[in-house]
């Protein structure tokens, strides 16, 4: 008789099945483990790969735990935000009027569109190059923190672009009061951790 997990286990990869019956065994119900073991037998998966995969998964779990333990608290994130906010706006208000003086903006609507558009571009030009090249902004340099992927690696350009544009989500700044990772972290699958990691 098949249990309800048989179909679920039939679509799992070999690696996922091995994880279920080894390192993640305590996370599953007994019926799920039985279904995974039967699927392994059915596919004739070589059990000699279990040890290699188990070691690999345990190493990955240690890295993830290390990243989680070194994720900075909301207070430091707020300091980062404040420093970066001040820097961005000081530079913006120094450069924007100069550019505005050279443009033939005749109506309030044109002026508003230019200011908002330039602010978005300016924010992007501040965060994207800094975080992509160095994993830091001025705020992170001062607080000795850096941005990493959930696996602890240097983020790819697409991660940083996603992270930067997610900062424009209304209430993104307030999301840090409810968790250590804000909207722009969760969506881009990144974290800010202590720099010594």
pLDDT at 3: 62
Segments of the chain with pLDDT less than 70: 1-3, 173-180, 197
pLDDT at 1: 43
Q: What percent of the chain has pLDDT over 90?
A: 36
Query: Are 40 and 18 a contacting pair, CB within 8 Å?
Result: yes
pLDDT at 68: 86
Q: Is 168 helix (H, G, I), strand (E, B) or coil?
A: coil
pLDDT at 174: 67
103, burial (CB in 10 Å: exposed 0-12, middle 13-18, buried 19+): exposed
């Amino acid at each position: 008789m098949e249990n309800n997990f048989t179909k679920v286990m039939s679509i799992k990869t070999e690696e996922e099945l091995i994880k279920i019956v080894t390192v993640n065994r305590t996370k599953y119900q007994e019926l799920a483990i039985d279904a995974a073991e039967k699927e392994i037998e059915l596919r004739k998966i070589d059990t000699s790969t279990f040890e290699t995969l188990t070691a690999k998964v345990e190493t990955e779990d240690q890295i993830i735990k290390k990243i989680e333990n070194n994720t900075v608290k909301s207070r430091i994130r707020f300091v980062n935000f404040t420093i970066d906010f001040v820097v961005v706006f000081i530079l913006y208000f120094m450069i924007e009027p100069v550019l505005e003086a050279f443009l033939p903006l005749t109506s309030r609507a044109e002026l508003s569109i230019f200011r908002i558009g330039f602010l978005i571009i300016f924010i992007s030009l501040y965060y994207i190059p800094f975080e992509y090249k160095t994993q830091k902004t001025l705020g992170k340099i001062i607080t000795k923190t850096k941005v990493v992927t959930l696996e602890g690696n240097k983020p790819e350009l697409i991660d940083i672009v996603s992270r930067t544009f997610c900062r424009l989500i209304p209430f993104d700044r307030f999301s840090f009061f409810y968790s250590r990772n804000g909207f722009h972290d969760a969506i881009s699958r990144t974290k800010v951790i202590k720099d010594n990691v």
